[in-house]
Amino acid sequence: MFGLVDLDFSPARLLSGLNQLGWITLLMIPPDPGSSLPAYLVALGETLSIALLGTTIAAVLALPVSLLAARNIVPSNLFRFPVRRFLDSIRGVDTLIWALVWINVVGLGPFAGVLAIAVSDFGAFGKLFSEAIEAADQEAGRGHPRVRRQRAA
């Protein structure tokens, strides 16, 4: 309750805002690109290639690191711990923040976008891949169902 008051929550403003939202929706109809359709298509292609390139770079870079973070590849807790914390700290920063950082480093443009997605996904992929590797190893240990049944008996 205190939070609502603190954040200026007011039903009146919400109602008038809804009115505004309705107006905007009406203004949106019909969707019309005007004369800049080619520019939009180029921009869409740019966005798609940012996503594709960023994800691919992240996956390629994360694969070796994820091996280092997997329990069954690197049994030593001492070596695995820093790798995992490193991935955590990369993952802890959102893609948007990385984008702002990279824009300041390499300047405005798609290149900064590719770097931002590559870096933030690198952290996520590192974790996901290492978990996949650990899970796969456990499954392989189980072996054939018949053998498992014999063992259980």
Partner 1 sequence: MPQVLPVIAGQVLYFIESNTRSATIIGIVGAGGIGLQLAEQIRVLEWQKVSFLILMILVAVAAIDWISEQSSALRSSGGARSPELRQVSSRPRNSTRSAAKRERFVTSGVPSASTSVLSTTRTGRPSARSSRAASVASTMAAVIRVEDPPVVADAVMRRAVLSSSVRAGEHLSGVGKALGAKARWC
Nearer to partner 1, 56 or 84 (CB): 56
Give residues in contact with partner 1 (CB under 8 A). Answer: 24, 27-34, 36, 39-40, 42-56, 58-59, 63, 95-96, 99-100, 102-103, 107-114, 116-117, 121, 124-125, 128-129, 132-133, 135-136, 139-140, 142-145
In whole angstroms, the minimum distance from the beta carbon of 150 to partner 1 comes to 14
Nearer to partner 1, 68 or 128 (CB): 128
In whole angstroms, the minimum distance from the beta carbon of 1 to partner 1 comes to 32
- Is 134 strand, coil or helix? helix
How many Å apart are CA 81 and CA 74, to the nearest integer? 10
**Residues of 14-48 as b/e, b for ≥16 C-beta within 10 angstroms?**
eeeeeeeeeeeeeeeeeeeeeeeeeeeeeeeeeee
Nearer to partner 1, 83 or 117 (CB): 117
Q: How many helices (H) and strands (E) would you count in the chain?
A: 7, 0
How many Å apart are CA 139 and CA 153, to the nearest integer? 20
In whole angstroms, the minimum distance from the beta carbon of 82 to partner 1 comes to 23
